[in-house]
Structure 1
């Protein structure tokens, strides 16, 4: 069935539609990598009830987007909180979502800004794992740009890279939302473009099925070999939007289809493409999560791709991906779809380490207090680290993860409020603690990592000591990461942003562009410029 004319026109506008809105005068010309995103943002302007910036936008007129509340992690005193434990997170959806707001001339909601997802969006230079472990740990210590008396500790994880040709076969099921809410240019038409990109990268040993759901779920394409690209593309072209959403029924059919063609030594995965508007089907979010969790235990994982505006349910989609041993992404253009589904295909589709947890122990002779930047919804209790039954994040081939700690050195007082600094009845005072500290005194902290090999129930342990010395010349990557973290705190208007300002972020980011393959860092500079062009509110700095 041919694609409706209106949809085809809207879809084409993503790539080469004319700009009907002018960006604020203060905004710079976009970098080449931003061209598609900017044209998409201007399309949002066409749908507004008034010009961008007047307060009358499509998002204001009909907005059902939901974000879980984020409370910035506080500074904790090492004497009473020597351990920091959390699950890694490889999701990057927040960056694409923030970009969507800024390129359309809007400020992103504070709770839409997950700093760890902004940081992890960019590729960095990290050493490959050695030996049999699928992940390597590195670290770097520098001065915190927004608070020079503090230290910024970067912990980097690099998963082993596997060439696409060497990846195990894929058993994929595309689960596509074709409900009425998807009948917009940046939803179903963009989903179809994204899936075509992935199909073009499939190999003969890969298999693909397509399930669509709206008022009811249906099998659009039975499991088909990756070398039948024309047949798969024809099934994608036949997808049309209309009806209510029965997401639960669609997921059940998608998992059943994946199970019928299960590959014992392959990648079995459902790829859900939706705006997140699950309003019919499984009766509750909890029931839906239990379904996804059970199928994960059976060996079929879930990747969630978010599209569009107005209905985007970031929190729900992230939770589904988390319990499904997958990752969540936000697609705002064909360029982002290509990055996520083609350039990073292995990381998106093949998991090399399950239930990855980090536990950091701080040296009380060197560190007075610390805070983990981001990962607020990934925190674990101390006991969870050694509990192999506790679910945690997963890493795909080639994935990179960065965690940042802001550290208050011993002897630095009054810069920030610190929790857990009151004297305790049964714990020795600081001086005694320092005198009895075990281990090398020149260590700032000690990192432990637990992971499971796919299919195994017992975890493996890795460790890495971080020396206290500060890098005289921080790496380009570390400086850029610090700029992104600083910008995230500005977007969130965080109480911990210190002396951060847009001008400072721009200076740091421009000086740390490096080779910038793909132009992602130049795009970031453009986003900061756009944020500054929107003006400032009380307490914010240009």
Structure 2
């Protein structure tokens, strides 16, 4: 009897070890083309993967698993029975839904439906919401109105980051309102492309201005200022010396973290040229090099190194940074693009971990000409405050990648702007004419404000401008003579009051810009006066940026939101959508509608 029991126990134990099996396959569209970035998920679980650049996937299943779910934006979701097959090839059919009826959710798009007043997506592949949350965001205190007589100057650094928008989108697509401090309005505005003219001459960017009525307060003006960085053909970009610094700690063990990260970097690798180089450094319980600096035409070697990465251990982020800088320095390219790309969910908890220590390390190393870009991934663990600081101090940009389409936007559509800096330490300073302006308010940029004296100080760090990037800033202006209540100060005792007259009398303000060449140490100055002339027929860019700003204020429940409403935002955005080739503006409209449903729940 004992022998029988022992045999049964051994049988059960052995079967337990061999129960899991691996399924592979290729996903194609109905024209036979392979589909990279398709989400493949075991139904009713959070286990999943995404297809590689060849449309290939590999996933482990258990005996109790019944179906695999395949989804991709613009395609109909396919549910396939697992059965006994070890290879499952799938063909996805194009969806007939209009883009405005789609919402990008994790790695796919699904139609919108309402259940008990809440907007949900009919998808089994929504980003999993963990039952814990350690996300961190820096506190934002919104800019208020400034009296133009007492404070005629407004000075700030540009910001080309757009992580806030895709992070906000992630929250909304999960059926939640984002934390207030996750909403950085300038990053939401700058997520979108605006049709500004290409710069002329030697100046690396053009300056566009527009003055119109403020949509959320008809008694106020809205000033729209846009910069457009010089576009550079990929073939003419300088060679790159890149180091991928990849977090493979245990917290990255989720399908919307490391697997998505691999697919994102695969896109970048396929954009590299023979003169470019890539090394890969990983960090978990310890930091290590998994790929020596390798020429960009040896793509398979780079992709193989990426594919072999697995998550596990704690997070030695500081040691990883030091090693990455050492490798970047050893392969430094004079006149080239020397850059570390840090990809993480933001969790640094071993070694050099405090924000101040990281900041000092990155500030020190940027002086050598090695810049830092940061990519955030995943849910529940984002250290947004820390990642923004690292990118800011490292003369780079910060993006949050919530789906494969966002990866394509960062690494394909905006390749030059993501990797190649055309101007650094770019600063704005606006001087308002008190004869025309009673008070003004900068919309957003709260963590980019500078002292007025910093404008002429070339030792003060500011934002970087990438090739082809656009930067947009909005000012809400209360005109002189308005009855709107504004902050005021007592008359100044030691200052003489001066009245603007003569040729400057009708000027509303003057815009000044300072910037440095990417390897320069002395700034150059641009200056442009703006007349007090209201445009009755404003551009699509003016109105759409205003719609995005309105949405940000609504999400923050800003005291400055005026008469903003869901309906007014949707109407403004729809009328300003324009051509919208990539569908980003249509997606924005859908997000606004989804938040309408979320507000209904909150009100109950």
Tell me the TM-score normalized by structure 1: 0.90
**Measured at CA, do residues 134 and 39 of structure 1 come closer, stay the same or move farther in structure 2, by a change above 3 Å?**
closer
Aligned equivalent of 1:448, options 512, 523, 535: 512
1:422 to 490, 512, 519: 490
Within the candidate set 385, 399, 411, 1:329 is matched to 399
Match of 1:96 in 2: 166
Q: Does 1:460 align with 2:524?
A: yes
1:26 aligned residue: none
Q: Write the distance in 2 (CA, Å) between the matches of 1:209 and 1:424.
A: 59
Counterpart for residue 486 of structure 1: 550
Cα pair 1:33 1:519 within 8 Å, conserved: no
Q: Where does residue 474 of structure 1 map in the other structure?
A: 538
Corresponding position: 1:398 with 2:468? yes
Corresponding position of 2:584: 520
Query: What's the C-alpha RMSD, in Å, of the aligned pairs?
Result: 2.5
Q: Report the secondary structure of 1:535's partner residue.
A: helix
Other-structure match for 1:253: 323
**Match for residue 352 of structure 2?**
282
Indicate the SS of the match to 2:192. coil
How far apart in 1 are the matches of 2:502 and 2:320? 56
Q: Distance in 1 between matches of 2:441 and 2:49?
A: 44
3-state SS of 1:111 partner: helix
The change in CA–CA distance for 1:268 and 1:32 in structure 2 (over 3 A counts) is: farther
* Structure with greater strand percent: 2
Separation in 2 of the partners of 1:68 and 1:213?
Answer: 25
**Aligned counterpart, 2:412:** 342
Deviation at 1:60, TM superposition (A): 6.8
Worse overlay, 112-121 or 129-138: 129-138
**Separation in structure 2 between the aligned mates of residue 33 and residue 252 of structure 1, nearest angstrom:** 46
Structure 1 residue 64 and structure 2 residue 128: aligned? no
Return closer, same or farther for 1:517/1:73 CA change in 2, 3 Å cut-off: same
- Does 2:561 align with 1:497? yes
Q: 1:37 aligns with which of 105, 117, 130?
A: 105
2:71–2:78 contact (8 Å) kept in structure 1:
no
The aligned residue for residue 570 of structure 2 is 506
Secondary structure, counterpart of 1:477 in structure 2: helix
Q: Measure, in 2, the Cα distance between the counterparts of 1:247 and 1:232.
A: 22
2:224 paired with 1:154: yes
Shift of 1:361: 0.2
1:183 to 253, 257, 263: 253
Contact map agreement 2:160 2:463 (CA 8 A) in 1: yes
Distance 1:269 1:328, change over 3 A: same
Unaligned runs of 5+ in 1: 21-28, 43-50
2:237 paired residue number: 167
Following the alignment from structure 2 to structure 1, what is the Cα–Cα distance between the partners of residues 562 and 171? 25
State how 1:76-115 maps to structure 2 within 5 Å. Answer: 76-115=146-185
Q: Which has the higher contact order (CA 8 A, sep 6+)?
A: 1
Larger radius of gyration between Structure 1 and Structure 2: 2
Aligned partners of 1:206, 1:58: CA distance in 2, in Å? 36
Query: Residue 530 of structure 1: which of 574, 594, 604 is its match?
Result: 594
- Over 3 Å counting, the alpha-carbon distance change for 1:274 and 1:60 in structure 2 is closer
The size of the alignment, in residue pairs, is 513
Distance 1:391 1:539, change over 3 A: farther
- 1:218 Cα deviation from its structure 2 partner: 1.0
Q: 1:533 to 1:256 in 2, by over 3 A?
A: same
Asked if the contact 1:33/1:518 (under 8 Å) is kept, the reply is: no
Counterpart of 1:47 in structure 2 is none
Q: Distance in 2 between matches of 1:92 and 1:271?
A: 16
Residue 4 of structure 1, CA deviation? 8.3
Greater mean alpha carbon deviation, residues 287-296 or residues 162-171: 287-296
Cα distance, 1:98–1:30 mapped onto 2, change above 3 Å: farther
C-alpha deviations, 1:420-440, integer Å up to 9, x for none?
A: 343333445xxx643x44652
Relative to the length of structure 2, the TM-score reads 0.81
- Residue-by-residue CA offset, 1:368-406 (whole Å, 9 max, x unaligned): 000000000000001000000000001011111001000
Measure how far apart 1:447 and its partner are.
0.3
Deviations 1:494-536 (CA, angstroms, capped at 9, x unpaired):
0000000000000010011101120110000010011001124
| Residues 34 and 291 (structure 1), Cα distance of their counterparts in 2 relative to 1, 3 Å cut | farther
CA–CA distance in structure 2, aligned partners of residues 272 and 309 of structure 1: 17
Q: Deviations over 1:114-155 (max 9, x none)?
A: 000010011111111111111111100010010000000001
